Structure 1
Amino acid sequence: RHRAAGHRTFLDARQHPGADFAERYPVISAFCKMAGIDPAHDPIPIRPAVHYHMGGIAVDGFGRSTVQGLWACGEAARTGLHGANRLASNSLMEAIVCARWVAESIEGVSAGPRTMLRDDAMPPASDPSVVRPILTQGLGVLRDRDGIARAIRSLYPLARNHGAASDPALVGLMIAVAAIRREESRGGHFRTDFPHTTLSAAPSSLTRAEALAAARDIVETSIPARSARS
């Protein structure tokens, strides 16, 4: 809220740990010094963040997706091992455990004939630079329906134009549609207009087609109807 009002936020480590900062946190200290900041004497500029996406590619117990020849595990997958928070240590554990299941599953499948893609068949490299500010504004730490809907209206045309931003926009659009549907606050998802957590924790799933259809409905309802011509 403070940052949304145009202010800056800082972490003050000058007293604790103070002079021992570089020794206790050498990597963070090195990054700070690259930016001209000495944590022992200067407040560190920060921005709040959470894991905004607790989902992933839907897979079965062997890591197989619905796309033939595609397996997924770790943070890329939706195995059901995560709840409303995706914690780094849980993701590491999931990758280590599920990777073995995936490897065993792949080992038992015949490779079959290989098809080489031509260079001109490769899609353009993704560019998320246009998408990032949209997600920052509408799907940050604090969310509400109006902000999420604005993000959807901005992301929808980007996701459909088959450009460099279309894939990042599609991922963001799926996050946004899932967020606008979940009218509660749970884990990393906090709605200021729905601050309470419902009694039952209900997981949800969303396909690409469902996300695009829901986004289209939101976009169309925001367009004022044209007056009838005589």
Structure 2
Amino acid sequence: MASTLRATPFRCGPPPITTWGGIKTDADGRSTIPGLWAVGEAACTGLHGANRLASNSLLEAAAMGLRAAHALVDDEVIGARQIAPVSLPGDTDPEPVRRVVSSHLGLLRDEKGLRVAVTTLLPLAESDDAAAVALVAAVAAYERCESRGSHARIDHPQKDAVARRRFHTFETAFAQAREIIGPNRISRIAS
């Protein structure tokens, strides 16, 4: 058994355990949509800047959850509303998205790989929620031509002098993706 383990190569790399992003909120977990609150991994608070140490997500969820609870008590309560039914895509095979994310949206990224990711994910994203989320991440990574926090671009190893927070919606990410792969495609390679 030991000789087999030594002779058989295997792929080892960092697992995709978290993402940075989510619903844009204030410091109390209040979003821009009345009645929608978010904390923890679902929220984009900016609390940790461009990077977060491993277990700090638990501390953030606890601290921000408490802040949100106190703010909710003080906030005007909005009654439940009838929500229109949403048509969700049927079961999709996660493997194509998983492959693209593992190959091109890992720790080290470059324009070529991000362009491949956007090109592959855009047609899938029309009917696959996971592909749509991955597409937003790919477009955001493509547009950030610097290395900052957990985002490392091997073709842009420098950090810009000024940190800028950016927000993307599905609508803007889909439009940008079409520009990235279109006939007059946008190039982010430094001249």
Please state which band the TM-score falls in when normalised by the shorter chain. 0.7 to 0.9
Deviates more, 1:96-105 or 1:121-130: 121-130
Q: Which amino acid aligns with 1:199?
A: A
Q: Does 1:213 align with 2:172?
A: no
Q: 1:102 aligns with which of 60, 64, 68?
A: 68
TM-score (norm 1): 0.67
- Aligned residue for 1:198? 160
Q: 1:137 aligns with which of 103, 118, 121?
A: 103
- Aligned residue for 1:183? 145
Residues 50-106 of structure 1: per-residue CA shift (max 9 Å, x gap): 667322210122212223332111111111102222323221111111101222333
Residues 189 and 116 from structure 1, CA distance in 2 versus in 1: closer, same or farther, beyond 3 angstroms? Answer: closer
User: Number of residues paired by the alignment?
Assistant: 179
Distance in 2 between residues matched to 1:221 and 1:116, nearest whole Å: 40
- Aligned residue for 1:112? 79
- Aligned residue for 2:54? 88
- Aligned residue for 2:88? 123
- Aligned residue for 1:21? none
Higher Cα radius of gyration: 1
1:151–1:176: 8 Å Cα contact kept in structure 2? yes
1:126–1:167: 8 Å Cα contact kept in structure 2? no
Residues 210 and 87 from structure 1, CA distance in 2 versus in 1: closer, same or farther, beyond 3 angstroms? Answer: same
Distance in 2 between residues matched to 1:111 and 1:70, nearest whole Å: 10
Q: Which amino acid aligns with 1:112?
A: G
Distance in 1 between residues matched to 2:88 and 2:162, nearest whole Å: 42
1:185–1:196: 8 Å Cα contact kept in structure 2? yes
Residue 110 of structure 1: how far off its partner (Å)? 2.7
Give unpaired runs (5+ residues) of structure 2: 186-191
TM-score (norm 2): 0.79
Q: Percent identity?
A: 42
